[in-house]
Structure 1
Amino acid sequence: MPLPLFRPVPIPTLVWLRVAMGLLGGGDILGNGIYYHWYLDDFAGYTFRYYGFEWVHPLPEPLLSLYFIVGFLLGLAVALGWRFRITAPLFALFFSYLFLLEKAHYLNHAYLFTWLAWLLALTPAWREFSLDVRRNPGERRTEVPAWTVLLFPTLMGVVYFFGGIAKINADWLLEASPLHAWLQRRADIPLLGPLFALKPTAYVMAWGGMLLDLTAAFLLLHRRLRWVALGFLVFFHATNHLIFQIGIFPYLSMVLTSLFFAPDWPRRAIHRLAGFGIPAEKLGWARTQVRRWVVQWQGRVGRAPESPASQASSLWQGHPRYRPLVTAGLALIIGLHLFLPLRHWLFPSDVNWTEEGHRYSWRMMLRSKQGHGHYLLVDRTTGAEEIVQPRDSLTTKQYRKMTTHPDMILQYAHHLRDLRAAAGQDLAIYPRFRVSLNGGPRHTFLDRAADLSTIHWQWWGAKDWVLPEGETAQD
């Protein structure tokens, strides 16, 4: 009897995931190109890069424009299952490049999608309802190893649960902050706007969001309660989309949520849609393929025999020789995603203030920070002082993000140091930044006596140049 991770399960949900991710990811790449590159031209100047990936730079024109177009086409290729074993890894690579291109654009859903894209490329999602199978019917499969399907809802369950854990704090639950401020900004929405402006609405949504996030994955695992959970989640994500306009995340979340249902639910849905009595020949190849797919699942035709090439390509998925390797890889992936949301406890600071452990931890739409400031540059040779306003050379989004993130303030200080060093200047760079958390008073963010030009970024350990919240800035 095969182990639970390697038992065969129907392939339809994996096909559904492939189609949805290809369309959503390809659209996201093109959308970023249209808005940030062609409209705002945000990649023409300085870009904040992730530590460890400083080598990622915007491509020169016309390669950058071509990247956005090709990335969109790769998404379509993945959705259609065309040359999947080539296009899927390329699609994951292209999306990873978009994610790494600008740290100021960090979004939880982009980080999640990057993981999902690489994991999807490791699955046999092209084995059904794809152009690859149309070209070579002998590679069609109706079943896949269970882990290739279960991994994706598991990751979504982690996102839900830790998103709920992060909401268990005084500002969110006792003050409904900053949710009330965000809702008030949407008070002009027809019908719902006046309701959003009420303080009790913020409390209901704050507590409801926390409880739903904590219980969503568990409710979805219950056969009778999952429909109740689905209804709440549809309302939850629709409301988030209406209020926050957070791109593809609500759609991606619902796609991943649907994977908690029986693996063959898309097959049954398509079977119902295909039963309207319309002649297949009038609807072209797509309808014919759908009907052929349904007939296969109903067992009216036998499964095509595996070719030697197909057998070789699927050995690592289910062959006993490779099962320990696959199991270890899955344990490592899940373990990493359980550790990252908890790592902020290793730092002696408030994660909402210092940002230590905030990224990659599903702390989504949780706090509101506003900051502003500048750098004081002192020539070590002459003692001459100069004030540099970063807002003069950064985009609005870059400046807004940088002023509340110590790592980005440090990065830009090093950028200034290197620019001036190339011109023959030896400068000390001192921060002058003030930050407000969740509508509170402004406080000094960084030690004003810290020379950022000499400080190196630490992955672990307390950063004494980042001050604790509570020191009110002096004008």
Structure 2
Amino acid sequence: MINRWLFTHIDNSSLVVFRVLFGFLIAAESFGAIATGWIRRTLIEPQFTFNFIGLDFLQPLPGSGMYYYFATMGILGLLIMIGYKYTWSIIGYTILWAGVYFMQKASYNNHYYLLLLLCMMMSILPAANYFSIDTKLNPGLKKVSMPRWCLLIVIAQLWIVYTYASVAKFYPDWLDYTVPKNLMISRANYPVIGEILQKHWTHVSITYFGILFDLLVIPLLLWKRTRLLIFFIGIFFHLFNSIVFQIGIFPYLSLAFCVFFFSKEKVHRLFMKKKEFYTDNEIIIPSYKNLLIPILSIWFIIQIVLPIRHWMIPGDVLWTEEGHRLSWRMMLRGRSGTTHFYVVDKNDPEAKRVRIRKKEYLSKKQIRLASTKPDAIWQFAQRLKKVYRDKGKDIAVFVDSKVSVNRKKRKTFIDATTDLANVPWNYFTTNPWIIKYDEK
């Protein structure tokens, strides 16, 4: 049964078409980061970046290095699109994108994480076995089929992402329209649609459409009778997200995924007419079978467990943020607050608390991050400790933090008596200096 399910060969047109679209989109993302000034604002102008904790060695290249870094990524994206040195190109892009992803959190969103997962998956998929420079140079590489597992892992990954995104919305602030309303307030000045986005019926529509679309899009794409309808609904949904939320390539990447759901015959007919259509349905047991099945099992166990780890951590994840990242909790909260940092010279018994001027160390975007996110607050305390240590001083760092989630009343967020410069960061358990509240 497993052999038939995973290793029956099917036509590979969908994977080939997706490779072309994927390569074009990631190239556009890379070159766009240069053109829009994202690299300058995020990686060059700041004195340092808030990397993922424990990966301090990941720092932006000096000078104009990050421009060359992203230009290289863009070129690799184009090589992926045309299928030249595909394996090395996709592995290279994956490594570089992982570096960017883990290097900074000021411009974090779940779509960056999804792109990293897709790059890893595309690294093992035979996506350049047709319509590629590689097969032109070496015709022996050309194939018109692929094992079914190549299709199934993409669908399974997407199903996990969308399902968790839907389930996460079943909480009061989404269901009472608070979050959609707050999301639209900042977009009131949009031309033409700005006023419409402030209407109550718009907030109600976003609330329920967001839940239902994420929950049902994969099953309805898999069902032939509803496939075309949900595809056109998806076009509207993703274009709306692109225009209103301006979230880069993700809406278009989501539409590109649809080639995996339409029939092999239709994808072949629309995009690969000159290609031989494969119909033999051979079951070919590969030599890597005993390696593939355990790897895929571990991969999907992680993908299923990781998004629900916050249930194992005390406190409401919307407040504590512990377990929020890597969990497909998209657009569920807005955070605001004021956080003041104070340093005390530990070797001077008469030393007074000195308030830190954050703007001397952080960009505007980083200040927002270090005012509301506990990991960034802790990391900035560590940064201050290093700065003062270089001056020959041993300091304690205390924080006065008031935070609001979804425009609710501000509450004390951090224990003001804890020296954050001298406490560890707990990755897998709670950090006791984050103040928890019983109410959700």
Q: Residues 76 and 92 of structure 2 are in contact (CA less than 8 Å); yes or no, is this contact kept in structure 1?
A: yes
Q: Determine if the alignment matches structure 1 residue 437 to structure 2 residue 405.
A: yes
Aligned to 1:204: 205
Q: Determine if the alignment matches structure 1 residue 370 to structure 2 residue 336.
A: yes
Aligned-residue offset at 1:10: 0.9
Aligned to 1:286: none
Aligned-residue offset at 1:92: 1.1
Structure 1 residues 352, 422: CA separation in 2 closer, same or farther (over 3 Å shift)?
same
Aligned-residue offset at 1:358: 0.5
Aligned-residue offset at 1:298: 8.0
Query: Structure 2: which 5+ residue stretches go unaligned?
Result: none
Structure 1 residues 419, 188: CA separation in 2 closer, same or farther (over 3 Å shift)?
closer
Q: Residues 19 and 79 of structure 1 are in contact (CA less than 8 Å); yes or no, is this contact kept in structure 2?
A: yes
User: Normalising by structure 2, what TM-score?
Assistant: 0.93
Aligned to 2:83: 81
Q: Residues 12 and 265 of structure 1 are in contact (CA less than 8 Å); yes or no, is this contact kept in structure 2?
A: no
Aligned to 1:394: 362
Aligned-residue offset at 1:193: 3.0
Residues in 2 aligned to 1:209 and 1:266: alpha-carbon distance in whole angstroms? 28
Q: Residues 443 and 469 of structure 1 are in contact (CA less than 8 Å); yes or no, is this contact kept in structure 2?
A: no
Secondary structure at 1:133 match in 2 = helix
Structure 1 residues 263, 390: CA separation in 2 closer, same or farther (over 3 Å shift)?
farther
Q: Residues 11 and 264 of structure 1 are in contact (CA less than 8 Å); yes or no, is this contact kept in structure 2?
A: no
Q: Residues 99 and 110 of structure 1 are in contact (CA less than 8 Å); yes or no, is this contact kept in structure 2?
A: yes
Q: Percent identity of the aligned residues?
A: 31
Secondary structure at 2:336 match in 1 = strand
Residues in 1 aligned to 2:99 and 2:429: alpha-carbon distance in whole angstroms? 29
Aligned-residue offset at 1:391: 3.1
Aligned to 1:138: 140
Residues in 2 aligned to 1:190 and 1:64: alpha-carbon distance in whole angstroms? 34
Aligned to 1:408: 376
Aligned to 1:449: 417
Residues in 2 aligned to 1:428 and 1:417: alpha-carbon distance in whole angstroms? 7
Structure of greater relative contact order (alpha carbons < 8 Å, 6+ residues apart): 2
Secondary structure at 2:22 match in 1 = helix
Aligned-residue offset at 1:76: 0.1
Secondary structure at 1:127 match in 2 = coil
User: Normalising by structure 1, what TM-score?
Assistant: 0.86
Aligned to 2:277: 297
Q: Determine if the alignment matches structure 1 residue 341 to structure 2 residue 307.
A: yes
Aligned to 1:92: 94
Secondary structure at 1:125 match in 2 = coil
Aligned to 1:171: 173
Structure 1 residues 38, 184: CA separation in 2 closer, same or farther (over 3 Å shift)?
closer
Q: Determine if the alignment matches structure 1 residue 70 to structure 2 residue 72.
A: yes
Root mean square deviation, CA, Å = 2.2
Residues in 1 aligned to 2:106 and 2:385: alpha-carbon distance in whole angstroms? 20
The CA deviation string for residues 129-183 of structure 1, in whole angstroms up to 9 with x for no partner, is 0011111222210100111122112211111100001100001002x11211222
Secondary structure at 2:403 match in 1 = strand
Aligned to 2:164: 162
The CA deviation string for residues 51-91 of structure 1, in whole angstroms up to 9 with x for no partner, is 23221111123433221111110000000000112211111
Letter in 2 for 1:76: L
Q: Residues 10 and 263 of structure 1 are in contact (CA less than 8 Å); yes or no, is this contact kept in structure 2?
A: yes
Letter in 1 for 2:257: L
Q: Residues 153 and 257 of structure 1 are in contact (CA less than 8 Å); yes or no, is this contact kept in structure 2?
A: no
Residues in 1 aligned to 2:406 and 2:438: alpha-carbon distance in whole angstroms? 13
Aligned to 1:356: 322
The CA deviation string for residues 195-219 of structure 1, in whole angstroms up to 9 with x for no partner, is 2111222012111211221122222
Q: Determine if the alignment matches structure 1 residue 47 to structure 2 residue 49.
A: yes
Residues in 1 aligned to 2:185 and 2:284: alpha-carbon distance in whole angstroms? 53
Residues in 2 aligned to 1:82 and 1:392: alpha-carbon distance in whole angstroms? 46
Aligned-residue offset at 1:470: 8.1
Q: Determine if the alignment matches structure 1 residue 5 to structure 2 residue 6.
A: yes
Structure 1 residues 368, 318: CA separation in 2 closer, same or farther (over 3 Å shift)?
farther
Structure 1 residues 252, 106: CA separation in 2 closer, same or farther (over 3 Å shift)?
same
Aligned to 2:195: 194
Structure 1 residues 454, 318: CA separation in 2 closer, same or farther (over 3 Å shift)?
farther
Secondary structure at 2:71 match in 1 = helix
Question: Which of 125, 128, 147 does residue 126 from structure 1 map onto?
Answer: 128
Secondary structure at 1:178 match in 2 = helix
Q: Residues 23 and 80 of structure 2 are in contact (CA less than 8 Å); yes or no, is this contact kept in structure 1?
A: yes
Question: Which of 443, 446, 467 does residue 435 from structure 2 map onto?
Answer: 467
Secondary structure at 1:193 match in 2 = coil
Q: Residues 156 and 257 of structure 1 are in contact (CA less than 8 Å); yes or no, is this contact kept in structure 2?
A: no
Q: After alignment, is 454-463 or 5-14 more displaced?
A: 454-463
Letter in 2 for 1:297: F
Residues in 2 aligned to 1:162 and 1:40: alpha-carbon distance in whole angstroms? 29
Q: Residues 375 and 432 of structure 1 are in contact (CA less than 8 Å); yes or no, is this contact kept in structure 2?
A: yes
Residues in 2 aligned to 1:385 and 1:181: alpha-carbon distance in whole angstroms? 37
Aligned to 2:244: 243
Structure 1 residues 39, 168: CA separation in 2 closer, same or farther (over 3 Å shift)?
closer
Secondary structure at 2:29 match in 1 = helix
Residues in 2 aligned to 1:450 and 1:230: alpha-carbon distance in whole angstroms? 52
Q: Residues 79 and 89 of structure 2 are in contact (CA less than 8 Å); yes or no, is this contact kept in structure 1?
A: yes
Letter in 2 for 1:371: G
Aligned to 1:327: 293
Secondary structure at 2:96 match in 1 = helix
Q: Residues 11 and 278 of structure 2 are in contact (CA less than 8 Å); yes or no, is this contact kept in structure 1?
A: no
Structure 1 residues 325, 78: CA separation in 2 closer, same or farther (over 3 Å shift)?
same
Residues in 2 aligned to 1:82 and 1:72: alpha-carbon distance in whole angstroms? 14
Secondary structure at 2:372 match in 1 = coil
Secondary structure at 1:434 match in 2 = strand
Residues in 2 aligned to 1:367 and 1:264: alpha-carbon distance in whole angstroms? 42
Structure 1 residues 39, 375: CA separation in 2 closer, same or farther (over 3 Å shift)?
closer
Which has the greater radius of gyration?
1
Residues in 1 aligned to 2:190 and 2:284: alpha-carbon distance in whole angstroms? 52
